[in-house]
Structure formats: C-alpha cells, structure tokens
Structure 1
Amino acid sequence: MAFPEPRPQPDRLPQHLLRSLDCQQAAVRAVRFNADGNYLLTCGSDKSLKLWSVSRGTLLKTYSGHGYEVLDADGSYDNSHLCSCSADKTVILWDVASGQVIRKIRGHAGKVNCVRFNEESTVMLSGSIDGTVRCWDTRSRRMEPIQILDDAKDGVSSLSVVEHELLTGSVDGRVRRYDLRMGQLHVDYVASPITCVCFSQDGQCSLSSSLDSTVRLLDKSTGELLGQYTGHQNKDYKLDCCLSERDTHVLSCSEDGHVYCWDLVEGSLTLKLPVGKAVVQSLSFHPSEPLLLTATEGRVQIWGAEPEESDVAE
C-alpha cells in the first residue's frame, strides 16, 4: 500500500520584525547577507562597512578605508574576505578577521555602484557609473583588471554572478548576460533605467527592476517576459529587488516605505510590508531561510516568518 505524498507546506513570508539595528552609519546604502546567512553587511554614507551577527544583532567589526560613502559589498564563500565599492571610485578587498585592507584598487573613472565575488572568490567584479564592468584577480597584486566589459552605453547599476555567468543592469535600459566560459553576450532591452538585477535560485531566470516602477522576470535563455510585478514606487532611486529562497516570491523595495512581495507565478501581491516612512533603499533575502533584511535611512531591520520565542511568551 502506497501512502500519499504529504502536502507541501505553504511558503512562509518574513513579516515579523525580529530586531532593528541602529547602524550609526548615517544613511545605509546597502545591506547584504553573507554566503551562509549567518552575518550581514551594511554599507554607509559615513564611509564605513560593518559586519553584524544576524542571530544576536551585534556589531562584530567596522571596516574603514574608503574616502566617500560605501555603496555595495559582498562576502567570499568561505567568509574570509570582503569586497566593497564606493563613490570614491575605489574597490577594496578586506581580510575579515583582521579588518585590514588587502588591496585598494583605483581603476574606474567614476563612482563604483556594485561589486561581487565570483563563486570561488578568485575574482572581484565591479560595475561603475563609467559604463564598465571590471574583473580583478583577488590572488595577485596586479592593479590592472584581467578583463573589462564595456558594452553598456551608460552607468552599470547592478551585478549578479552565478557560476560562469554574469548578469548586469545598466542605466541604458538593458539587461546583459555574459557567458564568460563561451565568450557570449545576450542583451534584453527594457526601455527604462535598470536599478537592480539578479538570477533566480535555479539559474534559469533573471529578475530586474527599473525606474518605471516595474519588476520583470525574464527567461534567461530566450529573453521571454515571464512576469511583470507592479504596484510599488520606483521612479527616482536605485532600489533592490530579489527572489525568495525557493523562487516562489518576488520582492522589491519601494519609495513609499514598504517592501512589496508578489507570488512569482500568479503575479498577485501577497504581502505589503510596512518598513518605515522613508524610502526602503536596500533588501537582501537569506540564502536558505525565510529571513529578510531591509534598510531605510540609518536603520536595518531583520524580518522573520515567525516572531521570536520571547515575543510569543509575552
């Protein structure tokens, strides 16, 4: 006798505020989970990068070395290194434990909007207002990039890396996907400046947000539009979008102080999360759990699918 398969549990969305961090970095420009989701990074307009414990909400280390506000950061797969970029046109590779600068690179002609490691953390990729993506070897002391991608006709606003593929978003309204192994470039035209791009967890789709207040889901291989998500406000600021840890929901920051969450397949608005009165500048979804980070003004909030046990007891 065969027993029926258990019904899959409905996806839980992070809608309970677990803790709020006063980062003391003036405005928080970006917030990011590290590779395993145990730590978070905050980038501030006070020129600093900070590392925090997610479970305790405590500050672990402050990294200072940029000459102007820090705009983005990423952590290596083994949590030994960080990279960050700034409006001062520099990219910095950090040693996590010591907080020391390993390399400070001045290669871009304008502010650097985004930075990412490849999966092996052997290469840092940086995108700039100068319209280029530059690839830097993390294992050498060379100050020249190992590759320059200069196909964008305007500033590069966002990067995403999965295996040998690179996804970029540009103010020229185009999403570009580079197959670095095959040396191929695929371009999708959105017709509105791109503020954020990312791959889906399964690597089959790309997600992009743009200044027409629309988030779009595209088939990676064909460029077919699979879904459009609207209702939020994104007209003036560079805001983040992302997918949930199981690719079931699409999330976006909004200029009205909320995070919007849509069902990926149906396109219906599932959750409108009130974060604050100001623009929600940045967000990051945990790689394997229903946890969400949001940044607005000088604070970062950690949201979970269930309230903390102490809150339930009270």
Structure 2
Amino acid sequence: MEVPVRRSRGWSDKTLKLWNPHKGTALRTYQGHGYEVLDAAGSFDNSQICSGGADKAVALWDVTTGQVVRKYRGHAGKVNCVQFNQEATVIVSGSIDSTVRCWDCRSRRPDPIQVLDEAKDGISSVKLSAHEILTGSVDGRVRRYDLRTGQLCSDYIGSPITSVCFSKDGQCVLAASLDSTLRLLDKDTGELLGEYTGHRSTTYRLDCVLNEQDTHVGCASEDGSVYFWDLVEGSLALSLPVGQGVVQSLAFHPRLPCLLAATQGQVTLWREDNFQPDGDPGT
C-alpha cells in the first residue's frame, strides 16, 4: 500500500542544493536521482550527504565534488527518509514498501546489511541514536530497535505517524501524527507524558523537533506556521509564520540556536539576534 501521506518538497527537479544559510548563497547542486528527492541528511563531519527519492534509490554523495559515490537499490517503493549513523558508516532508509534498510557505506556490497520489516504500512520517519533505530509508520506505530540487545519496542499511536525524534537526553520519544497531535512518550515504558495540539496536520508528512535544551517541542503545520509548546506544561509558547503554504520540513542545528523551516521551495532561517556563525564574526 502506498503511503497516503504526501510530502511536496522543493526538490521536485530531482536535485539537492547545498546552501550557506547565514549568507543565503547556493554552494552546489547535486544531480543524480531519476525522480524527485524526498529526503536528505548530512554526515556529522559534513563530508557526505545521503538522499532518498521517488526513484526507489538511496544515494551517497561527496559534498566537495558533488558526485554520487554509491547508489543503493533494493526498496520496492519510494524512499521517504534517510539517516546516517554517527560515524557515517551506515545509511538507514525507510520506504513506502514498509521496510527499513541498513546500507554499509564502506563496502561495495549491493544488498543491505539488515532489513527491518515489522511495519504493516509505509515508513514515514527514521531517526538514529548511538545504538537505536527509531521509526514511525503509517500503520500508527512508533518502533524502536535496540541494536545492542536485538529488542524491538512498539508503541501504538493509532493515527498515521508523520515524524519521530529522540529527546536530547535520550529518555523520551516525540511523535507527530495525522490527528493534529504531538505526543511525548517515555522511551522505555511507552507511557504518554504529554500531548500538544493547536497546529494542523491531516494530510502531509510534517516534521517534529525538540529544541537543544529539551524545554520545548515543535512541529510544522499545514497552515503555514511552525508551533512550539512548553514541554512540561504543554502550553503553546510560540507560533512562527513561515509562508502561505504547508511547512513540511523543520530542523534545529545540532548545537547552535538556529532553526530551519521549508515551504514551497523556500527555506527560512531563524537565529538569535546576537548569533555569530562559527569562524565568521563579520557575518
């Protein structure tokens, strides 16, 4: 069954674009997918990019040269989401074919080193920690695979999942779903710790995030805004207008107080007034 959750990114021209967000300058365009690009992620050392597309392929790119290093094929449908592990030795991909596949970046083997096929519908979101794979599926379940113990933990939300992420302290899981609700779960027990509403999410695959201090949860919305709630109190803390269309992509910088949001081919950056980019005090 094809995922009934739509994601219309600014990559329908089959390319990826690398930008300096602080200067607003385009650095490089990456061409190599046969159809639209649905997701991309960078390695922690910024030397590589992985991407997934509607051509059912996962691509590994060299950031500097702009060339495709490897292409991984094996999914039977569109690749919705991709992530590197911390060492950038493995790419994890999720597809509408209901599987999660792990690809070895260091070897030339064409087949995945592991296939996770417990989901009953398309995979919409994948996140990694040091030893865990977290997935969200259109079947309404959040699944967490502990790679050290081989254990699978599954929590049933009910509504199709659009995005999942770990809290920075590693104790909680945040899940967004198509009932216009964010849910914070205890990672180990699955206990519901909080619910957050006020945004609109009924059709598209929208991102959810936690800020760098784990004090606020955020979610993109179909009404053109980004919403943030106090994690503990559950009260709406902030609404950021982005544009007229659906806000589909949302991401915090891993260390700095910067937020990126994307809608209809436009990427918007928010940062603190006194923010200075690393190594560029004049920017």
Q: Which TM class, normalised by the smaller chain length? A: over 0.9
Give me the whole-angstrom Cα distance separating, in 1, the residues matched to 2:214 and 2:145.
22
Kept after mapping to 2: 8 A contact 1:283/1:292: yes
Moved runs in structure 1, 4+ residues, more than 6 A?
none
**Who is 1:150 aligned against?**
117
SS in 2 for 1:110: coil
Q: Does 1:249 align with 2:190?
A: no
**Who is 1:286 aligned against?**
253
**Who is 1:109 aligned against?**
76
**Who is 1:140 aligned against?**
107
Give me the whole-angstrom Cα distance separating, in 2, the residues matched to 1:82 and 1:232.
31
**Who is 2:270 aligned against?**
303
Percentage of matched positions with identical amino acids = 68
**Who is 1:12 aligned against?**
none
SS in 2 for 1:182: coil
**Who is 2:59 aligned against?**
92
Q: Does 1:188 align with 2:155?
A: yes
Higher relative contact order (CA 8 A, sep 6+): 1
**Who is 1:259 aligned against?**
226
Q: Residue 55 of structure 1: CA displacement?
A: 2.1
Give me the whole-angstrom Cα distance separating, in 2, the residues matched to 1:103 and 1:189.
36
**Which of residues 210, 214, 223 in structure 1 aligns to 2:181?**
214
Give me the whole-angstrom Cα distance separating, in 2, the residues matched to 1:28 and 1:301.
16
**Any gaps of 5 or more consecutive residues in structure 1?**
1-26, 30-42, 310-314
**Which of residues 36, 58, 63 in structure 2 aligns to 1:69?**
36
**Whose radius of gyration is greater, 1 or 2?**
1
1:132-170 deviations in Å (ceiling 9; x for gaps): 000000001111000000000000000000101110000
Q: Does 1:163 align with 2:130?
A: yes
Note the 1:194-233 alignment, pairs <5 A.
194-233=161-200
Give me the whole-angstrom Cα distance separating, in 1, the residues matched to 2:88 and 2:179.
34
Residue 80 of structure 1 aligns with an amino acid whose one-letter code is S
Residue 220 of structure 2 aligns with an amino acid whose one-letter code is C
Q: Does 1:270 align with 2:237?
A: yes
TM-score, length-scaled by structure 2: 0.93
Give me the whole-angstrom Cα distance separating, in 2, the residues matched to 1:288 and 1:95.
23
Kept after mapping to 2: 8 A contact 1:124/1:135: yes
Residue 171 of structure 1 aligns with an amino acid whose one-letter code is V
Q: Residue 288 of structure 1: CA displacement?
A: 1.8
Q: Does 1:178 align with 2:141?
A: no
Q: Residue 57 of structure 1: CA displacement?
A: 1.7
**Who is 2:207 aligned against?**
240
User: Aligned-pair RMSD on alpha carbons?
Assistant: 1.4
SS in 1 for 2:41: strand
Q: Residue 307 of structure 1: CA displacement?
A: 7.3
**Any gaps of 5 or more consecutive residues in structure 2?**
1-6, 277-283
SS in 2 for 1:247: coil
Kept after mapping to 2: 8 A contact 1:28/1:295: no
Give me the whole-angstrom Cα distance separating, in 2, the residues matched to 1:80 and 1:261.
32
Residue 44 of structure 1 aligns with an amino acid whose one-letter code is W
Q: Note closer, same or farther for the CA distance 1:170–1:51 as it changes in structure 2 (3 Å cut).
A: same
Give me the whole-angstrom Cα distance separating, in 1, the residues matched to 2:84 and 2:111.
17
